[in-house]
Amino acid sequence: MTHPAPTELLDLARTVALTAGALAHRRRTEGVEIAASKSSPEDIVTAADREVELLIRGLLADARPNDGFYGEESDASGGSSGLTWVVDPIDGTVNYLYGIPFYAVSIAVVQGDPDPASWNSLAGAVVNPTLGEVFTASEGSGAWLGDQRLHVNHDVPLSLALAGTGFSYEAARRVWQANVVGGLIGQVRDIRRIGSAALDLCAVACGRLDLYFERGLNPWDHAAGALIAREAGARVGALQADAEGRDLLIAAAPALYDQFEPVLTGLFERFPSDAGLR
Ligand code: IPD
């Protein structure tokens, strides 16, 4: 089946993400309450997460009825077109709950099975409604913040790299992740924990971070952001040429990635994760 050009799919992703971002922002100003918890009491969902995902799902289904849908807050559905929309209605839900202005609507469209190990990302939009920032990329057409073309920072040695990471909602995994970060912090400029993987990846794309890594991400956390970082010149993957995924995601300029990989491998050997924490 032939598909529209990635730039055309991006127009849809951007329009829907902007509409969804406006709704998320409005609901935030009205006040936010926890609707339920998921994998742990810290892993929460708000009514806005669900409402925003429903809105996105409806708009995408109206425009592209034959595509699949894979979102954080509702059941996945397959399509017949070979394309799937991978959606996080509010990435950075805890920031959203606390009124920290770093949350984002993240919408990507991928070709192939909705699995980061094999999919081909065609287009992605990440909108931070509080700051009014719109990050976009489509395959082969570069990454953008509004109308500004993005490029990752090059020529940064690991010792001067500002590195971002994130922590799991599971306490045991978080403790292990903190050990790894403890081993890294003396080897880089400093560490940031922004609280939204989508925005972390966009931060690498626009040079606000030199490097980002995290273990335990879900596909919707990184689908759009990884394409944006890649199109800005980052290498995005895991260890030993593996694709990014739940096990690990690393994003950085290629030379920095090469410096970081053996260091992270060493830290994983020094702090082996327990069974079940992968
Ligand atoms: C989370 C954020 C956070 C990351 C977590 C994610 P959510 O997504 O991206 O930065 O550290 O791993 O689960 O729950 O806010 O959509």
CB atoms within 10 A of CB 86: 27
CA pair distance 231, 149, nearest whole angstrom? 10
Q: Ligand 1 center to residue 275 CA distance, Å?
A: 22
Task: Grade residue 275 by pLDDT with cuts at 50, 70 and 90.
Answer: very low
| The pLDDT value given to residue 274 | 59
Distances (CA, A) of 86 to 136, 152, 156: 14, 24, 32
CA pair distance 214, 162, nearest whole angstrom? 14
Just list the catalytic residues: 72, 88, 90-91, 93, 221
Topology at the third CATH level for domain 158-270: D-Maltodextrin-Binding Protein; domain 2 (3.40.190)
Tokens of 178: 């903190």
197 CB under 6 A from ligand 1?
yes
Ligand 1 atom nearest residue 165's Cα: 11
Helix H or strand E segment including 233: none
Q: Ligand 1 center to residue 221 CA distance, Å?
A: 7
Give bridge partners of residue 36 from the DSSP assignment: 45
**Residues 213-264: tens digit of each pLDDT:** 999 999 999 999 999 999 999 999 999 989 999 999 999 999 999 999 999 9
91 known member of a binding site: yes
- The DSSP string of 14-26 is HHHHHHHHHHHHH
Residue whose pair of structure tokens reads 């939009």 in the numeric block: 125
Class of 6-149 in CATH: alpha beta
| 217, 249, 277: residue to mutate for ligand 1 pocket, most atoms within 8 A of CB | 217
The alpha carbon dihedral of 92, 61, 54, 24 has a sign of: positive
For the chain, the structural domain boundaries read 6-149, 158-270
90 known member of a binding site: yes
Q: pTM above 0.75?
A: yes
